[in-house]
Amino acid sequence: MSNADKQYLTLVRDILENGFYETTNRTGMPTYKLPHKMFQFHLQKEFPILTTKFVAFKTAVKELLWIYRDQSNDVRKLHEQNVHIWDEWMMEDGTIGTAYGWVVKEYNQVDTLIEGLKKDPQGRRHIMSLWQIPHLNGGALHPCAFMTMWDVTEDRLNCMLVQRSADVPLGLPFNMSQYAVLVHLIAQVTGYKPGLFTHVINNAHIYENQIDGMKLQLSREHEAYEAPKLWINPEIKNFYDFTIDDIKLIDYKHHPAIKMEVSV
């Protein structure tokens, strides 16, 4: 079993058995939730992606590149790549407003991070934050995975992702793989090896209408596969040159996808 499956299914079981039942939230769909949960992965040992259900890796990476490489808020640019995960939040102008990629670009966050890691690797201020208070209400959705904090230890680049809210069945599998990819990409262009990836979740929840899907995934626990390998094109040295074809999974074995509802 992959380490990602092990940690993820442990969290799912914990929420279903010990979660607090919350009837009031933004979406109107009740949840079972637990606060202050954490995953940790050694990226030199294993790439974190679930095998107990199919995770649309390419879609996840396309979204990641849209946010951090393209620094875009234009949902129509995702449509051009047959990605529709932001459709429910698309505003009248075709964007998600002052959120995600817009904030990355507004504060030049990627270039600042890369320059800082190269010039001052032992600095303790290597942070990208999408939680910029003046712009929160101008976005279609307040960012969920909103902050990364970066650390260099010897030849390894470590990253902590802070997520205020995690839809465990649908959003979390994307986020854990996306940001592990981001660590690999930033490490390659700054000359480090990927190190620790720590994923901190303030509110981890399962919506009431997702419980059957989660029980199905738990039933596959003893039939989980080993983790695949991540391949990054070693020729790419400029972060903005990465394309979806430069980032691939090798030997990704998985169970079928599990269809569940997204609460908007």
Lowest mean pLDDT among 2-16, 24-38, 217-231, 236-250: 24-38
- Phi first, then psi, for residue 133 (nearest 5°) are -55, -40
| Three-state SS annotation for 91-115 | CCCCECECCCHHHHHHCCHHHHHHH
Is the residue at 264 inside a domain?
A: no
pLDDT tens digit string along 100-133? 999 999 999 999 999 999 999 999 999 999 999 9
Average pLDDT score, the chain: 97
Give the range of the structural domain holding residue 96, as residue numbers without chain letter: 3-250
Is the residue at 111 inside a domain?
A: yes
Is the residue at 25 inside a domain?
A: yes
pLDDT tens digit string along 159-183? 999 999 999 999 999 999 999 999 9
Q: Which residue shows structure tokens 């107990």?
A: 52
pLDDT tens digit string along 29-85? 999 999 999 999 999 999 999 999 999 999 999 999 999 999 999 999 999 999 999
**264 confidence band (pLDDT: 50, 70, 90):** low
Is the residue at 11 inside a domain?
A: yes
99 contacts 75 by C-beta, under 8 angstroms: no
DSSP conformation letters of 118-169: HH-TT-S--EEE---GGGGGGBSS--SEEEEEEEEETTEEEEEEEES-EETT
Residues annotated as catalytic (active site), given as ranges? 144
Is the residue at 257 inside a domain?
A: no
181 vs 150: CA distance, rounded Å: 14
Is the residue at 116 inside a domain?
A: yes
Is the residue at 255 inside a domain?
A: no
How many domains does the structure of the chain reveal?
1
Measured from the Cβ of residue 99, the count of other Cβ atoms closer than 10 Å reads 25
- Name the strand (E) or helix (H) holding 32: strand 31-42
Exposure on the CB side of residue 255, measured as CA atoms within 13 A = 20
Is the residue at 183 inside a domain?
A: yes
Q: What is the pLDDT of residue 263?
A: 77
CATH number, domain with residue 197? 3.30.572.10
